[in-house]
Amino acid sequence: MTRPAGYKLEDNIEVLKGVGPKKKNALSAIGIHTLSDLLYYFPRRYLDRTLSDSIVLKDGETVTLLATVIDSYLAHGKKSRLVVGIRTSRNERVSLVFFKGVQYFKNVFKPDMNIAVTGKLEYFRGLQIVHPDYEIISSAGDPDDNDFTHIGRIIPLYSSTETLKSDGLDSRGFRKLIKQIIDFAKDTALVISEILPAGAVKKRHLPERKKAFSEIHFPENDESLKAARTRFAYEEFYFFNLLMNFKREMREKVKRKLWPLPESPSAKKLITTLPFQLTQDQEDCLIRMKELSSKDVPMAVLLQGDVGSGKTVTALITALHYIDNSIQVCLVAPTEILARQHYNTIYNLMGNTPFLGIELFLGKEKGKTRSEKVNRLKNGDISLAIGTHSLFQDDILFKELGLVIIDEQHKFGVEQRETLRAKGKNPDILAMTATPIPRSLCLTVYGDLSLVTIKNKPAGRKPIVTKWVREDKQIAVYNSVKKYADQGRQCFIVYPIIEESEKSDLKSCIDAYESLRKLEFKEYSVGLLHGRMKADEKDSVMLKFKKNEIQILVTTTVVEVGIDVPNATILIVEHADRFGISQLHQLRGRVGRGEHESFCIFITPDKVSDDARVRLDALLSTNDGFVLAEADLKLRGPGELLGLRQSGLPDFKIADLQKDEALAIQAMDDAKEYGTLSDIAKIEMRSRFSEGRILFPN
């Protein structure tokens, strides 16, 4: 039946049959307002139901069956269970067995209901499947019983919730609605226009948009599904790269107002007084940043370097080119400990170099002390402001801010970074990270930044000896710690939690501290450090540890970044199987910072998960943070690697930054070749990405 012409993708979903006020509100709650939104609500996975009735059932096989519910009953024994009897079209009886959620499933399955089930067949008094995946095809007498939207093909499954399901928006409900839109397009009642450049579609052999929508939701076969998925992943990469190109162009339209000196007397003097020689990577980075800061457009650099590679010194030398020309610099860090560490490191490095006006800004400061600092900053008497999120506060004003340095930059949101930039006169941006970032992420997430990298560590640094031992060897490890402590060395012992809870089987940091100082290390000075301590308490503990007044520091991951104690040569991580690759590598970087041989010991229970084994084996195999970052990306994906909340990751629905690296590079190249800031491009960037909504408001 031909439907009336005139539908548009931007039409409200109420034009669809079956969408009333209740369903409209439910869809609106998950961001679906238009036909376009619904088409871009991609399936989470698919079930292949094309072969469900043509197989002979055998014990041990994983199958997908189309069947009818016959009966259900509660069976009692050592474990009570619900048994649901089903019959296939070949007249074979199979039992579905549920040990968990018995009361729930008891209300789900009704006689004469048509269902699809997937699971492993087992033989126990007949064929059975324990806790199968299932999909309700139709209830008894349902007019859609023979609707091949739901059976006999590759079936899409959609993300849903109990609330959505109660409003008829389970996978089956979504299929009904989306099928209407696809049918509109087939009947030409809805025009689905192409939004990618024709040259790019042809060059990359992409299916047209209309065809791709049909195949992503109702694929004819695996190949057509793969092609459709590739099309939409490319789309996301393409428009994100347009967004990055636009951001770069906008920044480059704004001309520089403050010019750093090409040669800095303070920087030259600092380099000659350093107790070590700069690495070739550091020198190359300094040359590159000097080149970028000499242009008439503001610099925007991502400086990534492995743990202990010397990023802070490199950033300081760069900053002195600004400070020597009376241009202010601010350095923001995510934690007070790291901010204080930077302050102390820079203050000590400067030595006798003429350097006035370095100040620390922390969130808890109030009263006269803070107001004096704020006034001095506003008047230009402070050359380098170091702080935490407190630097974002409205009353923090600069006279001539020309360089913003952001450490551990992935822990700050895009809007936070822009807030800081807005306090200056088109300031340069130097973002730093100690988490090496895989190439595919650099090309996409940080596509608007110039990348400089420090890979080599300062000369004289010895490789950290890394070992993995089980808990039964813990006493032997502690005895080794005593031996090194007697030689004047120090040790970190890291725990994953602060306090023990009823639900946790992990040793807590506080409990371990009490035990270690009273028993295993009663003859030594043991300190405690964790995130809930007050700032002055943390400072006191760290100062004592730096002075070697504390020999063994029991701590949480609060020491993950920024703690620099060259005399600490042993780091023990308890329950190391509970940490990720990146975090363990960061923790390992707390030692190996001096002339002495250093050790990192991972302690775990005897049995660990397969994933934990992969993580620990990776850390045993290399000290190279860039190699480990690639391994971490494969295990966890970009969201967890960078931190979902603050990472600035694109709002990709289908593209995968790890698996689709080649596609991302193609889209980046094509965005440069074909990309224009058309009305379509603006609409797509605004609708797809949070940054687009900021840059292209309605």
Determine the Cα angle at 695 with ends 694 and 698, to 5°: 75
pLDDT digits (tens, 9 = 90+) for 124-143: 888 899 999 887 777 665 54
* pLDDT, tens digit, 9 for 90 and up, residues 417-468: 778 888 988 899 998 887 767 666 676 677 778 889 888 777 767 789 999 9
Fold for the domain defined by 48-157: OB fold (Dihydrolipoamide Acetyltransferase, E2P) (2.40.50)
Query: In this structure, how many other beta carbons lie within 10 angstroms of the beta carbon of residue 599?
Result: 22
Q: Which residue has the tokens 């480990």?
A: 628
**pLDDT surpassing 60 at residue 182:** yes
Per-residue model confidence (pLDDT) at position 433: 83
Rounded to the nearest 5°, which phi and psi values hold at 50? -75, -25
The pLDDT tens digits for 603-616 are 999 999 988 999 99
- Give the dihedral sign, CA 157/158/161/163: negative
Q: How far apart are CA 232 and CA 35, in angstroms?
A: 17
What are the contacts of 161-166 at 24+ separation with CB within 8 A? 163/26, 164/26, 164/30
Extents of the domains making up the chain: 1-44+158-192, 48-157, 230-254+658-695, 265-454, 465-622
Residue 388's Cα: distance from chain center in Å? 21
Q: Which H or E run contains 169? A: none
First-residue to last-residue Cα distance in the chain: 37
CB-based contacts of 261, cutoff 8 Å, min separation 6: 321, 322, 324, 325
Please list the alpha-helical segments (H only) found in 294-437.
311-323, 336-350, 367-379, 414-421
Per-residue pLDDT at 145: 46
Q: If pLDDT is split at 50, 70 and 90, which confidence band does 56 have?
A: low
Number of Cβ within 10 Å of residue 500's Cβ equals: 16
pLDDT digits (tens, 9 = 90+) for 311-340: 889 999 999 999 999 999 999 998 887 888
Report the alpha-carbon distance of residue 37 to residue 52 in Å, rounded. Answer: 32
Residue type, 131: H
Whether 48-157 shares its CATH topology with 465-622 is answered: no
* Average pLDDT of the segment spanning 258-280: 90
190 has which bridge partners?
Answer: 7
Amino acid of residue 69: V
Q: Which fold would CATH assign to domain 465-622?
A: Rossmann fold (3.40.50)
Residues with Cβ < 8 Å from 221, sequence gap 6 or more? 154
Return the structure tokens found at 49: 């139901």
Per-residue pLDDT band for 123 (boundaries 50, 70, 90) equals confident
CB–CB of 498/505 below 8 Å?
no
pLDDT at 622 over 50: yes
Q: Which two tokens stand for residue 681?
A: 């491009």
Place of tokens 């040259």: 199
Question: Would you identify the CATH topology of the domain 265-454?
Answer: Rossmann fold (3.40.50)
Task: Tell whether the model's pLDDT for residue 644 goes beyond 70.
Answer: no
Integer angstrom CA distances of residue 463 from 459, 466, 620, 622, 632: 11, 9, 12, 10, 21
Q: pLDDT: is 428 or 507 the higher one?
A: 428
Question: Which of 34-38, 54-58, 292-296, 678-682 is the least confident region?
Answer: 54-58
